[in-house]
């Protein structure tokens, strides 16, 4: 999977890469990472890379220096130094990546802290592709030597499916065997589809250890990953589900748009633009704990009238649910005909609190049964998957979607389209109610893991916004999410 693996226009820059080989394995080296490690047409590993993540779970992009690439017909050796340099973090790491003629690849990361800082994770990561692995068994060896059989989950696992990993072995194809050995820390695996990534990820340090953790200047680390592939490596590739994302029929979901970031009302030019593009609803966030929320709501109703559409209201409460609900119900008495749905959220909790859901649903449905009342999160699907609604009353569940939770390069954004049908299927395993995805954005809108409130909103505009690539990505999102009742774009 390189440029031509998706039927989608690429009018944005892709990072340069080099194809390298290790025996019967071939892969690409790109910006310090190994991607698409394959034996023939069978993908063994999606990516191996090093990561430094700060206390807000932001991945720090390194500056690569002293890069040396030596590649032969069946082996290669790559070395470089990565400098992770932000206002808070000063860290350097030496990487040595070696591919041998016996179809093995080793990656070594040696890190050195140049300052004191807080980190959530530092170390090597392995991404495992979905199609080749979902539902397949693997053998796990723990650091103490214990062995057990596990299975790559079909539905999205809310929590880590594999823990305490020193070695994992599996069969990517019928007579093909892959083994990865890990050293330098305790590794575990998470299901990255929770964040709309199309992979399982094996990483360190385990999440049961406290984070963020203080790193002191002068502190060192060393990790090593060794991948070995054996078996009938010349066998024809198995027929796997097609990875290409092909144009198909348009989804039947109700489409909506968000109020532009930082605005309180639409301009005349924006009203004209929206009216020229058919859509079902208009998403507006209302902060019921702030003094100006009544004006926010009135502005939203005014915009809905201008647009000849209905509102999807995202209601943020704080503590005083009874008081804020009563004030909200009083305020909307004269404008309920413009309201399509409301999502009930507490600004300090990752999903709708049970008390708020019970009270809000009961009061709103008693007064206006045609208004849909939802349970969910303004954050990633992970929050909903880990906190399903259970027996709480609700008309729909909701979460937001953004393909850059872990990486922002164009290839990753393309890859992550593959995870969307699995998200829908997993939701349907715990509720039969409607699914609202609100909002969908190609760029980072919020950081739900931010420690400080001022870091929650992300002001950056993705440079790919407005490109043909972004327009096609949006189309393929609607197709991957075609079983959702409602999709709102940011």
Q: Domain of 35: which CATH number? A: 2.70.98.10
The phi and psi torsions of 418 (rounded to 5 degrees) equal: -65, -25
Residue 211 has pLDDT above 70, yes or no: yes
Residue 243 domain-assigned? no
Residue 77, token pair as written in the block: 């050796």
Peptide linkage before 439 cis (omega within 30 of 0): yes
The per-residue pLDDT for 241 is 41
pLDDT band, very low/low/confident/very high, at 232 (cuts 50, 70, 90): confident
Total of domains in the chain: 2
The per-residue pLDDT for 8 is 61
pLDDT band, very low/low/confident/very high, at 9 (cuts 50, 70, 90): low
pLDDT band, very low/low/confident/very high, at 238 (cuts 50, 70, 90): very low
Lowest model confidence (mean pLDDT) among 131-135, 457-461, 484-488: 457-461
Lowest model confidence (mean pLDDT) among 31-35, 233-237, 422-426: 233-237
| Mean pLDDT score of the chain | 91
Q: How far apart are CA 100 and CA 95, in angstroms?
A: 16
Residue 246 domain-assigned? no
Residue 241 domain-assigned? no
Residues 289 and 181 in one domain: no
Residues 109 and 184 in one domain: yes
Longest CA pairwise span in the chain (Å): 74
pLDDT band, very low/low/confident/very high, at 390 (cuts 50, 70, 90): very high
User: Can you give the residue range of the structural domain that contains 110?
Assistant: 3-231
Residues 226 and 266 in one domain: no
- 85-99 mean pLDDT: 97
**Cβ pair 487, 256 in contact under 8 A:** yes
Residues 108 and 147 in one domain: yes
Q: How many CA atoms lie within 13 A of 164 on its CB side?
A: 9
Q: How far apart are the first and last CA of the chain?
A: 28
The per-residue pLDDT for 283 is 94
Residues 369 and 271 in one domain: yes
Given 3-state DSSP classes, what are the helix, strand and coil percentages for the chain, each rounded to the nearest 5?
Answer: 20, 40, 40
Residues 80 and 150 in one domain: yes
Residue 90 has pLDDT above 80, yes or no: yes
Q: Report which of residues 134 and 446 the model is more confident about.
A: 134
Residue 405 has pLDDT above 70, yes or no: yes
Q: Domain of 362: which CATH number? A: 3.20.20.80
Q: How far apart are CA 395 and CA 338, in angstroms?
A: 18
Residue 105 has pLDDT above 80, yes or no: yes
**Cβ pair 420, 480 in contact under 8 A:** yes
The per-residue pLDDT for 275 is 81
The per-residue pLDDT for 305 is 93
Residues 184 and 54 in one domain: yes
pLDDT in tens, 160-198: 999 999 999 999 998 899 999 999 999 999 999 999 999
Residue 32, token pair as written in the block: 């310090």
Residue 1 has pLDDT above 70, yes or no: no
Residue 264 domain-assigned? yes
The per-residue pLDDT for 234 is 66
CA of residue 229 relative to chain centroid, distance:
29
Domain boundary residue, one of 231, 262, 282: 231
Q: Report which of residues 453 and 383 the model is more confident about.
A: 383
Residue 266 has pLDDT above 80, yes or no: yes
pLDDT in tens, 331-373: 999 999 999 999 999 999 999 999 999 999 999 999 999 999 9
Going by the DSSP 8-state scheme, the letter that residue 74 receives in this structure is: S
Residue 237 domain-assigned? no
The per-residue pLDDT for 452 is 73
pLDDT in tens, 214-229: 999 999 999 999 999 9
Residue 204 domain-assigned? yes
Residues 224 and 367 in one domain: no
Residues 207 and 265 in one domain: no
Pairing of strands 486-489, 434-440: parallel
Residues 315 and 378 in one domain: yes
Q: Report which of residues 444 and 397 the model is more confident about.
A: 397
Residue 243 has pLDDT above 90, yes or no: no
**Cβ pair 397, 351 in contact under 8 A:** no
Domain boundary residue, one of 231, 264, 290: 231
Q: Report which of residues 267 and 25 the model is more confident about.
A: 25
pTM for this entry: 0.92
The phi and psi torsions of 82 (rounded to 5 degrees) equal: -110, 130
Residue 81 has pLDDT above 80, yes or no: yes
Q: How many CA atoms lie within 13 A of 127 on its CB side?
A: 26
Residue 242 domain-assigned? no
Residues 304 and 380 in one domain: yes
Percent of the chain topping pLDDT 90 = 76
Residue 451 has pLDDT above 60, yes or no: yes
Residue 65 domain-assigned? yes
The per-residue pLDDT for 252 is 64
Residues 153 and 272 in one domain: no
């Amino acid at each position: 999977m390189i440029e031509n693996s998706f039927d989608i226009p690429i009018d944005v820059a892709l990072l340069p890469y080099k194809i390298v080989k290790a025996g019967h394995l071939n892969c690409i080296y790109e910006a310090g990472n190994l991607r698409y490690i394959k034996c023939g047409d069978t993908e063994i590993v999606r990516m191996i890379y090093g990561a430094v993540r700060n206390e807000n779970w932001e991945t720090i992009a390194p500056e690569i220096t002293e890069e040396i690439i030596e590649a032969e017909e069946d082996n290669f050796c790559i070395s470089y130094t990565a400098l992770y340099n932000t206002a808070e973090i000063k860290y350097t790491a030496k990487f040595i990546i070696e591919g041998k003629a016996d179809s093995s690849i080793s990656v070594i990361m040696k890190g050195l802290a140049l300052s004191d800082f807080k980190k959530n994770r530092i170390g090597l990561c392995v991404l495992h592709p979905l199609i080749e692995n979902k539902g397949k068994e693997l053998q796990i060896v723990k650091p103490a030597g214990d062995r057990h059989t596990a299975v790559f989950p079909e539905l999205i696992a809310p929590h880590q499916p594999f823990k305490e990993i020193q070695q994992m072995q599996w069969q990517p194809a019928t007579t093909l065997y892959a083994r990865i050995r890990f050293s330098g820390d305790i590794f575990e695996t998470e299901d990255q589809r929770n964040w709309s990534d199309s992979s399982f990820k094996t990483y360190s340090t385990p999440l049961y250890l406290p984070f963020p953790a203080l790193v002191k200047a002068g502190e060192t680390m060393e990790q090593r990953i060794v991948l070995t592939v054996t078996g009938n490596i010349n066998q024809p590739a198995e027929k796997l589900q097609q990875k290409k994302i092909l144009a198909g029929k348009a989804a039947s979901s109700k489409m909506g748009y968000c109020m532009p970031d930082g605005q309180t009302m639409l301009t005349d030019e924006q009203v004209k633009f929206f009216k020229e593009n058919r859509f079902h609803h208009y998403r507006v966030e209302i902060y019921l704990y702030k003094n100006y929320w009544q004006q926010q709501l009135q502005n939203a109703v005014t915009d809905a009238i201008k647009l000849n559409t209905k509102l999807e209201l995202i209601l943020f409460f704080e503590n005083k649910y009874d008081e804020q609900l009563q004030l909200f119900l009083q305020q909307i008495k004269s404008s309920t005909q413009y309201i399509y749905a409301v999502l009930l959220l507490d600004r300090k909790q990752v999903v709708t609190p049970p008390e708020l859901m019970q009270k809000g649903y009961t009061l709103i449905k008693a007064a206006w049964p045609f208004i849909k009342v939802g349970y969910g999160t303004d954050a990633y699907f992970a929050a909903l998957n880990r906190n399903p609604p259970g027996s709480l009353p609700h008309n729909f569940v909701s979460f937001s979607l953004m393909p850059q939770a872990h990486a922002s390069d164009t290839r990753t954004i393309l890859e992550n389209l593959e995870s969307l049908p699995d998200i829908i299927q997993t939701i349907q395993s715990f509720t039969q109610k409607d699914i609202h995805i609100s909002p969908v954005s190609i760029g980072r809108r919020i950081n739900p893991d931010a420690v400080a409130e001022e870091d929650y909103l992300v002001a950056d505009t993705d440079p790919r916004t407005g490109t043909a690539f972004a327009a096609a990505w949006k189309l393929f999102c609607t197709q991957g999410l075609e079983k959702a009742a409602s999709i709102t774009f940011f």
